[in-house]
């Protein structure tokens, strides 16, 4: 499954989640069987040519999420997680909060 995360850089280990309007990059995480298969970085979501992305993880529940939902994505937000690895670990154990429901 594919998951968008707005981040502050292009390093899969060091990048941290940012509010989407402040993000310098968008990380597209390929997550399967409980582990990260790959992380690709884009300057914008529109730069990606994937037909379908399953989830987006936002920095907080107050961000604009309607466009993501209109695109068919489930919207989640972090509690205290910052790094991509921590976010995906929280995702695996269902510790991210749903937004918009």
Per run of 10 residues, the mean pLDDT along the chain (length 101 residues) is 97 97 97 96 95 96 94 96 98 94 62
Prediction pTM value: 0.96
Contact 39, 84 (CB under 8 A): yes
- Which option is the CATH number for 2-98: 3.40.50.2020, 3.20.20.410, 3.30.420.130, 3.40.50.1970? 3.30.420.130
Using alpha carbons, select from 93, 71, 101 the residue that is nearest to residue 4.
71
What pLDDT does residue 101 have?
Answer: 62
């Amino acid at each position: 499954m594919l998951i968008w995360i707005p981040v502050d850089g292009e390093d899969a280990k060091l990048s941290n989640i940012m509010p989407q309007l402040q993000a310098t990059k968008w990380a597209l995480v390929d997550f399967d069987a409980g582990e990260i298969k790959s992380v690709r970085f884009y300057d914008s979501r529109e730069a990606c040519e994937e037909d379908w992305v399953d989830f987006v993880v936002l920095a907080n529940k107050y961000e604009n999420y309607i466009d993501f939902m209109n695109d068919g994505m489930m919207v989640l937000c972090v509690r205290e997680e910052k790094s991509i690895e921590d976010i995906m670990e929280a995702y695996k154990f269902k510790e991210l909060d749903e937004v918009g429901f």
